[in-house]
Structure 1
Amino acid sequence: MNQAEDVEIVLTHDRKYKFHSGTLARNSTLLNEMLIEPNAAKLSNKAKNAGITIKWMIELKETPTHEYPAGRLGLVDLTSSGERADFRTGLVINENGRVPTKIFDHYESIFYAFYNKEIRICDTDMRAALEDVMQIINIADYLGCTNIISKPVEVALLKHGQTLYRSIQSTPAGWARMAYDLKSECIFTEAMIHLVGNWARNKDTSNEKLREYPQIKALVKKYYRILYQKGKTLENQVASCYPGDMQTPSTDLPIKREVFSKDILVWMALCFFRHWLGQRIISGKGHGGEDGGFELYQQLGAAGEAYMNKIVMNQFHAKIPMTKKAFNVLENHLLEIKECIKGIVDKSNILQSNCQLDVNKFPVTYLTCTKFDREDFPWLSAAAQKTPPKVNSIKRGIRPGGNEIAKQNLEAARGQERDRADEHYEDMDSEDESEGISARKRVRHN
């Protein structure tokens, strides 16, 4: 912490930072190439005696452009006295009422992350947060430190819980791209579940958004085929189901006609059910529908009056009239058939949700049962395993530097230690209260 800061980074005329060359070079491949001894200023003895330690100065030469999405950093020549040879002060940004650029905040967050300072992502607007993270990733990719900031950014995002998951549900393609660049397994899996489940409905727009990410698009299509086949298999099982002992009502073979005639109302109930099921599938409500069969499977999984209710059954009765008693018996048999079908749907797990979004609180209209295999993460494939090599209130003007950040981290750690000690002494003040708390904890654990 007492090591001299020998690098000054100038983002603008009022955003200047002092850091340690070893820390920057160890965490960034770009800075590792810049911070070499031939590029260091040859400070005079007078400058050294005056306490000047800055040997490298790096300046943001350009703000983000199409050619340089993260802007462009460059070395500044220093005199032997440690001053800029060009006598400039850095970029002067005049927003003129426009939306302020966040590029400088993002650079600052990344540099501070080198000193283990937490990266914070605003949760007031998750769409804006997605844009912020994408820009942070652009900067990290430019600096060659994606592997350093990926986990802190992921942790900062996951802290937002359901706010994040709702944003992923609304724009899964954008979050999938971000997670791919960030190499975040949790966020990528969540985005894939929503992409696959809603692929039939949003195929055209998602295809356009994933144009530059063919690996993601290929995975979505792969898992959509799996989901499509799962729905098709379930419908085949439901359509070919003969509940109870309908197929073999007697053990005496050959089975006589009068034995089957006793179950005529059961067969009619099954016929009515398959009539209704066939119409739903033909009308596009099955596995080939926009929702992948979600609405149909929900009805089948709910049983009871969720489908083929009194109104529908009266339509059957109008076409195939029978006595009121017979019709009541038929409806009872239909309820039994529905319960059997419900068991088939439950066993298939097609209505199970594997996403982190609370679908009970924030319902969706498509299937979220996709199980994503870890070996399918694009960055874990053999071709993508080449990770970047790991190399060795604020005032205007000079910003907090490396030593100050390290000092803040140390003070924060000491503060947490004191808090834990205070809690320990408070617990010891009352032995009875402590025993009561322990007892309640044991009850909760059991």
Structure 2
Amino acid sequence: MVSYPDDHSMSSSTLPGGYRPSRAPSVASGRSSVTLRPSRHSQRHERHGYSKSHAGVTTASSSSSGHGTLNEFPTFDRTGDVDIILKNGRKEQRFTLHRLYLAQCSGWFEDVLGIGDGADSPGSSSSRAPVGKRKIRFELDWTKGVDDPMPMLILKPSSSPISTDQSHPPPLRPKPPAPSNGFFRSMTNFSALHINQPAPEPGDDVLRTYSNLFRIFYNHEPILDKTNIAVAYTECKSLLQLAAAYEALQVIGPRVDHHLLRFGSRLWKQIAKYPPSYLKLGYLARSRAIFGEALIHVVGTWPTSENALRGQVPPHVLDLVEDKVDELDEQRRRIEAKLWRLNLTTSRGERVGPSVSWLDWLVVSLWRQWFAENTTPGPVGILKDSGSRSSSTSRARPSTSRASAPPLNPQLAIARIFRLVGLGGQAYLPHDEIKRFLKCSPELYSRDNLKRAERRLEELKNVARDAVQPLTRNFLELDASTGVNYLTCTRVADGEWPWED
């Protein structure tokens, strides 16, 4: 299981500057695209001095400023130059932050605040904030009402000028490093979880999500549920959607990844229940652990999970899933064909056959019959009394004990048989089956022949076990023996992660 250190032990690191999603189309628009493109942050930091250290600059608190004003998160009254007012009609939250930090963490704020290459160029967008010493003010746009799931911030007339007694903002706390290993559809109805809790006011979740966004910008731990994995999923989903709208996924994603991985085994079990949902969440969070775990389940249950993904994830993510499905299917076909060609050889190296070694050939035939009956659908009778007829016939011939009735998805039956073959030994075709098989030919049945048949069958099982080994690997963090009945050998190699394009 992947684990990460607590916030107190995290070392500092620079803000991500490699890639980020393309920006939102306008200031007041809530739409955004999650296609990736090179970020201008890494180029601008050096040119404009954004990555310059603030060492030696201390945070001025109300007790030391002498002016009775706050200068700490979320209200930097003395040094902040951006006012953000969050209202939902009943509640109000106020943030006084720094345009520099907002621009470093969010491409949307970088453009709107006019920080960057085009800030001073002629013909710049009129939607950008004016450059000066007066505070810039943002408020939530509730024109769609409190039911709007993603209201965006809009510029308002400038407020009072900022104080000039401290020209630089206080330093940030160390940022957590990104994990090294590392649409949504409704998972279930969680209303029952809140029966004994007061109903939230409209828009409360929006205010909480915005608050978490700014907390992460200033390296404070987000306030997310730590006990209920279902509630934590919903909160993290909303936070990632908001981060995508403000082009801040590379800052928000690692914190969401770190928070969910704290749930340990409960997270892996939840991903197994809702793999398409966590595949999208893992993609937005740039989490190798979550995305890789969900991908194994999606590929293993394909095409059952296809409808939940098609049209809900970016095309290149769907392409990756389909490529992995094709790879698994090709590998399965190749190994299945190899199993059909399995045979035994005599002490002289000859392939066994009816004319070479009758008993050995019967052992090979027994194995092939078992494999055929358990990997192909059984014949469907056309007569109503076919059941009684087949039952009487079964008493007259040896049974090869079908491992189970084939489910609706034939790939699930194949997966279970491959696992039985991978176990070998007495996992299938045990001693009693061989004994009953030989008794069908009384002239062959003897103690010596029974021992020889068991020995030769064991040789065949060992060869088959080695052949299916690539398909029986389990790359899940979840124990595959806990009810996973599909192949779990899918793996994403370096360079294949969709956010690395």
- For 1:374, what is the secondary structure of its paired residue? coil
Q: 1:316: Cα distance to partner?
A: 2.9
Superposed CA deviations along residues 86-135 of structure 1, whole A, max 9, x for unmatched, are: xxxxxxxxxx9534542212111110111122335424333333322221
Q: Which amino acid aligns with 2:366?
A: F
Distance in 2 between residues matched to 1:380 and 1:345, nearest whole Å: 32
Distance in 2 between residues matched to 1:217 and 1:297, nearest whole Å: 27
1:307 aligns with 2:423: no
2:333 is aligned to 232
Which region of structure 1 is more displaced relative to structure 2, 328-337 or 224-233? 328-337
Distance in 2 between residues matched to 1:14 and 1:164, nearest whole Å: 34
Distance in 1 between residues matched to 2:159 and 2:217, nearest whole Å: 28
Instruction: Looking at secondary structure, tell me which structure has more helix per residue.
Output: 1
2:484 is aligned to 364
1:16 aligns with 2:136: no
Distance in 2 between residues matched to 1:178 and 1:222, nearest whole Å: 20
Q: 1:81: Cα distance to partner?
A: 8.1
Distance in 2 between residues matched to 1:236 and 1:186, nearest whole Å: 33
Q: 1:164: Cα distance to partner?
A: 1.7
- Compared with structure 1, are the counterparts of its residues 173 and 65 closer, same or farther at alpha carbon in structure 2 (3 Å cutoff)? farther
Match of 2:155 among 56, 64, 75: 75
Q: 1:366: Cα distance to partner?
A: 1.0
Q: 1:301: Cα distance to partner?
A: 1.3
1:216 is aligned to 317
1:270 is aligned to 364
- For 1:104, what is the secondary structure of its paired residue? helix
C-alpha contact 2:438 2:445 (8 A) present in aligned 1: no
Q: Which amino acid aligns with 2:333?
A: K
1:57 is aligned to 137
Distance in 2 between residues matched to 1:114 and 1:176, nearest whole Å: 25
Distance in 2 between residues matched to 1:168 and 1:298, nearest whole Å: 22
Q: Which amino acid aligns with 1:142?
A: A
1:329 is aligned to 452
Distance in 1 between residues matched to 2:112 and 2:251, nearest whole Å: 19
- Compared with structure 1, are the counterparts of its residues 115 and 271 closer, same or farther at alpha carbon in structure 2 (3 Å cutoff)? same
Distance in 1 between residues matched to 2:84 and 2:247, nearest whole Å: 17
C-alpha contact 1:7 1:55 (8 A) present in aligned 2: yes
Match of 2:307 among 159, 184, 207: 207
Superposed CA deviations along residues 243-286 of structure 1, whole A, max 9, x for unmatched, are: 35367259xxxx9x99x65x432221111111111222222869
2:346 is aligned to 245
1:143 aligns with 2:246: yes
* TM-score under structure 1 length normalisation: 0.67
- Compared with structure 1, are the counterparts of its residues 227 and 41 closer, same or farther at alpha carbon in structure 2 (3 Å cutoff)? closer
2:210 is aligned to 107
Distance in 1 between residues matched to 2:255 and 2:436, nearest whole Å: 61
Which region of structure 1 is more displaced relative to structure 2, 142-151 or 319-328? 319-328
- Pairing of 1:118-137 with structure 2 (within 5 A): 118-119=221-222, 121-137=224-240
- For 1:17, what is the secondary structure of its paired residue? strand
Q: 1:138: Cα distance to partner?
A: 1.8
Distance in 1 between residues matched to 2:219 and 2:282, nearest whole Å: 21
Match of 1:197 among 262, 280, 300: 300
- For 1:117, what is the secondary structure of its paired residue? coil
Distance in 2 between residues matched to 1:159 and 1:63, nearest whole Å: 38
1:339 is aligned to 462
Q: Which amino acid aligns with 1:366?
A: Y
Distance in 1 between residues matched to 2:230 and 2:159, nearest whole Å: 46
Distance in 2 between residues matched to 1:314 and 1:64, nearest whole Å: 76
Distance in 1 between residues matched to 2:286 and 2:492, nearest whole Å: 15
* TM-score under structure 2 length normalisation: 0.60
- Compared with structure 1, are the counterparts of its residues 231 and 4 closer, same or farther at alpha carbon in structure 2 (3 Å cutoff)? same
- Pairing of 1:351-390 with structure 2 (within 5 A): 351-360=472-481, 362-381=482-501
Gaps of 5+ in 2: 1-58, 61-77, 116-127, 163-196, 379-405
1:424 is aligned to none
Higher relative contact order, chain-length normalized (CA < 8 Å, sep 6+): 1
- For 2:377, what is the secondary structure of its paired residue? helix
1:4 is aligned to 79
Superposed CA deviations along residues 314-334 of structure 1, whole A, max 9, x for unmatched, are: 553464444242344323322
Identity %: 22
Q: 1:182: Cα distance to partner?
A: 2.8
Q: 1:350: Cα distance to partner?
A: 1.2
